Amino acid sequence: MKVYLDNGATTMVDVNVAKVVQHYMTNDYGNAGSIHQFGESAKDALEKARNTIAKSLNANATEIIFTSGGTESDNIAIRGVLKATGKKHIITSRFEHHAVLKTCEALEKKGYKVTYLGIDKEGFVNLKHLEDAITKDTALVSIIHANNEVGTIQDLKKIGEICRNHDTYFHTDAVQSYTKVPIDTKKIKVDLISLSAHKIHGPKGIGALYVRKGIKIKNIFDGGEQEFGLRPGTENVAGAVGFAKAVELAKTGNMEWLRDRLIDGILKEIPDTFLNGSRGNRLCNNANITFKYVEGEAIVLHLSAKGIAVSTGSACTSHSLKPSHVLTAMGLKPEDAHGSIRFTLSRFTTPVEISYTIKALKEVITNLRRISPFGK
Ligand SMILES: *Cc1c(COP(=O)(O)O)cnc(C)c1O
């Protein structure tokens, strides 16, 4: 049996997405900037895709720019706003995706000031600390919507209000939450939103950035006039159309119910385990569990031998031996952080797969604890 529970790292491309992508690669393959018919049909498709993404956020089409993915969107948002405003201060959290965290660290080396807000043990940012950290020189606040490791969902509405009241921009990385937790840009005071297709059964290498009309932002790459000048380069029309198709097909289905079965099953069947992140405000497809007295890497490899794909922390850090910065920011002891596994479901996950995973885990954990160097 093959069970893919690493949808937080990437997802299977939906066959219906693959079909439209293929069409725009092999039939309507023109450059959207050309004025002949090939160019016209590519341009039409691109603008339809832009409309679909805009509608999903209750935004206007001119507020959506296509990028190569979440990482690029985060970089354009943060660096582009700093460049346009001339301000020198950024506020973020200790629990961001590396696309934001490493960008902020790089900017610090260039002389920018960064405030890293702490988070509580469930993964929520303290709003009072946020408010206290904002100064006249704060260009933007960047807080992840749903964390990619533990799935905790922040209150965008409240954060947005604080930012607006203090005259600073609010950027959120919504790559994990997109199409799972609705965002209405007419109701929530968020100015920039990063999105990516490959976490929602779209192709890799295409994403988008929502840029609220009227905000100050400059291009960080130089080139052509594409994407309102904010993201020069020939548009990835096939990718954009595939992304839009993935948005149209997105639904949460059984994910939340299966996630709860997985969490409850593990906590009940396997002793010395606990859930990381909030139980109530949690992404519908995320379960992050600590298995005490065992190494996460060992669990991943033993489950893999049984056909089950899961991960320790995020894909970006799973090759390093450092404990997850997210779990340690939440106050986990390093040894507990090392024994933590992220399970991320998709709309294709079945009840049989969940039962099989719980059973396999029980065997793997029992065996690993028998040979554990931690003496349990
Ligand atoms: C995957 C991910 C990214 C990176 O997106 P890419 O499209 O792979 O560049 C950024 N932020 C979060 C929260 C993610 O989960």
70 lines ligand 1 (CB under 6 A): yes
Q: Average of pLDDT values for 173-182?
A: 98
245 lines ligand 1 (CB under 6 A): no
Q: What are phi and psi of 350, to 5 degrees?
A: -115, 160
11 lines ligand 1 (CB under 6 A): no
- Residue 111's Cβ-side half-sphere holds a number of Cα atoms within 13 Å equal to 4
Residues in the chain: 376
**Does residue 316 surpass a pLDDT of 70?**
no
* Cβ pair 230, 211 in contact under 8 A: yes
Residue by residue, DSSP assigns 27-60 as TS---TT-SSHHHHHHHHHHHHHHHHHHHHTT--
Active-site position among 104, 163, 284, 316: 316
242 lines ligand 1 (CB under 6 A): no
| CA 162–ligand 1 middle distance (angstroms) | 26
| CA 351–ligand 1 middle distance (angstroms) | 27
Annotated catalytic residue 316:
yes
Pairing of the two strands 340-344 and 286-291: antiparallel
Whose CA is closest to atom 12 on ligand 1? 175
pLDDT tens digits for range 126-176: 999 999 999 999 999 999 999 999 999 999 999 999 999 999 999 999 999
Model pTM?
A: 0.96
pLDDT tens digits for range 190-205: 999 999 999 999 999 9
Quote the pLDDT of residue 103.
98
195 lines ligand 1 (CB under 6 A): no
